[in-house]
Chain A
Amino acid sequence: MSKDLSTWLDTLLNELQGIEVRRRSSRRIRVDVQPDALPALLELLRGRASYVHLSAISCVDWIDEGEFELVYHVWSYEIGSLVSAHTRIARDPGVYISVYDIYTPAAFFERDIHEMFGVFFEGSPDMSRFILTEWDGPPPMRKDFDSEAWVNAHFDFQDYQPDWLQEIEAKGGGVAVRPDEQRFSRRDLDAS
């Protein structure tokens, strides 16, 4: 059974135009594909070569190239190999098509990527906030999002000097990192 399926897989990967296949090991195949051909590739992988399990969709922000890389990891229980299909979409406007109709688990990953990177997936069942319910800033996993600058701009710092610590310090003791040595100190912000 699985031998027949691997033949299907080889035929499929050989015949498709515009894809680049690299076999990294006996159970890992990397495929680079144009964004307009990716849904068709996944459809064929699932329908003809038994890749029924979508393990994950990963997103990488290649900010210098102005692109998002989307990686679809699909696994075949029968052939026993994992295909990672890499595709790149333009960072602006960052819109792509959902593969929810091919793989149900895609709904979670697409919602997550939308929340963290701001990529909108057309046709995905739910693009509402999930983890960052109260968040009103830019998508935080983007490379141009600076956590430290965001924190400094949005939160107030308070030096930690409770009475008990002051008593200990008066006797010459103290904590390992003294309040005035803290990396984030209200005093530095006030001074600058």
Chain B
Amino acid sequence: MRPENYEAQRQPPSHEYELNIGPNHPGIEGNYAFKLRLHGDTVLEGKADAGYLHRGFEKLMEGRLWIQNLAITPRICVPDPVPMEVSYVLAVEELCGLEVPERAQWLRVLQLELSRIAAHLFTFGGHAATTGMYSTMFWGMADRDLVLDLFEELTGGRVYHIYNIPGGVRRDIPDGFLDRVKRTLDYLESRLPDYDNLLFTNQVFVQRAKGVGTMSREQALEWGVTGPNLRATGLKFDVRRDDPYLVYEDLEFEIPSEEAGDAWARTLVRRKELVESIRIARQVVAALPKIRGTIRCPIPNPLAWSVPAGSAYTRVESSKGELAWYVVSNGGERPYRTHVRGPSQMHAVQVLEKLSVGARLEDIAQTMFSLDACPPEVDR
């Protein structure tokens, strides 16, 4: 067996040197490596290297029952697991033709938006840390924990909820839960001015983030960029509005965008999305008491459940961009094939490689965090 990643090294010119960021490095997100070739502080070439976190989920899911796979889906992206669950469940529902009760759809939206808030707070912290500002990370982690408390109360799990099942959700909200959601949302909103002072208007951060990792709208479209990274180049596209699912058509929210397309613009878009997510979550909190009825439709015995043959491609907007599952059934008790399309498969690999050329070494970590790369989505 060969040593890991062995290949004959071509000899670079004497002024060039190589530097590996990762797989274990504070400047990298997750178990992922980014291999650089540099001249002085300037990056000549960057190569993404995945595989340190490969768990073979897509193969694993082919051997497990439709219902068992629910436990796998959220584990694909740790910071923002809910869109993974919802997207897979939507695909199974499309294959089976299940009608999801309205109350369950609203509950899913509430969960999705809370997850987006938690993921963005996480990202701000990581991004700030790459510029040497660790306080934002501590604040972000502490505030994210309040959202995780809500998840724990609603679903029993803090990070992996496995709350969505085909046909609806597992359980209804506990007594007084909506009040606690409201209080948490109020608190998070009251914290925003503090975050502005600490990070978003902090000149240390602004000066570092402006002009870093800039891409134009044409480049973003060419490279398949989605989500906040695309909106930071001025294109107001959001799957929630333009390819709506669940009850997003009934909700009022803006699609924030920026023009600059750099790390700073991407952060600002996420900052504005936080406000919009709080706004959506408030609408759900106000609407839920009026929406009565069941939280799931009847499904067959899940341990002997043959899903009709066919294929479904379901997209949702995760905190990182367009997330989709392609699920194929051949009429059996297990999926014939599942394929996950994570937004990071674009911006953590090709886009990061392209943006790093000509960048300075100290901006590489910041570029990666400002793109909100999630390596587990690449590795699966």
Contacts and interface: CB of A to CB of B under 8 A. Distances in A.
Given A107-B350, A141-B59, A82 B243 contact: yes
Contact of A52 (B221, B336, B339, B341): B221
Interface string B202-243: 000000000000000000011110100000000101000011
A83 to B, nearest CB: 10
A116 B379 CA distance: 12
Contact of A56 (B2, B243, B324): B324
B326 A56 contact: yes
Contacts, number: 90
Interface string A34-72: 000000000000000000111110111100000000010
Given A55-B341, A71-B311, A84-B313, A105 B224 contact: yes
Nearest to B5: A133
Contacts of A55: 224, 313, 315, 322, 324, 341
Interface of A: 27-28, 52-56, 58-61, 71, 73, 75, 77, 80, 82, 84, 103-105, 107-109, 112, 116, 130-134, 136, 140-141, 145, 147
Given A80-B242, A104-B222, A108-B345, 14 more contacts: A55-B322, A55-B324, A56-B326, A58-B313, A61-B337, A77-B235, A82-B315, A103-B224, A105-B346, A108-B350, A130-B49, A133-B49, A134-B1, A141-B58
A69 to B, nearest CB: 8
Given A58-B326, A60-B336, A104-B350, A80 B243 contact: yes
A108 B349 contact: yes
A73 B326 contact: yes
Which one of A28, A55, A107, A116 has the highest number of Cβ atoms from chain B below 10 Å of its Cβ?
Answer: A55
Contacts of A28: 313
Interface residues of B, number: 38
A130 B223 contact: no
B341 A132 contact: no
B4 interface: yes
In the complex, the 4 A-B pairs of residues with the closest C-beta atoms, listed nearest first: A105-B224, A56-B341, A131-B51, A58-B326
Contact of A140 (B50, B59, B315, B350): B59
B346 A73 contact: no
Nearest to A130: B50
Interface string B324-368: 101010000000110101000110011000000000000000000
Nearest to A64: B330
B350 A133 contact: no
A163 to B, nearest CB: 31
B12 interface: no
Given A27-B243, A105-B223, A73 B237 contact: no
Interface of B: 1-2, 4-5, 49-51, 54, 56, 58-59, 63, 221-224, 226, 235, 237, 242-243, 311, 313, 315, 322, 324, 326, 328, 336-337, 339, 341, 345-346, 349-350, 378-379
Given A55-B315, A55-B341, A132 B51 contact: yes
Contact of B224 (A54, A59, A84, A131): A54
Given A131-B50, A140-B59, A53 B221 contact: yes
Contacts of A140: 56, 59
Nearest to A86: B311
Nearest to A56: B341
A73 B313 contact: yes
Nearest to A71: B326
A92 B324 CA distance: 29
A133 B243 contact: no
Contacts of A109: 345
A59 B322 CA distance: 19
Contacts of B5: 133-134
Contact of A134 (B4, B223, B315, B349): B4
A82 B349 contact: no
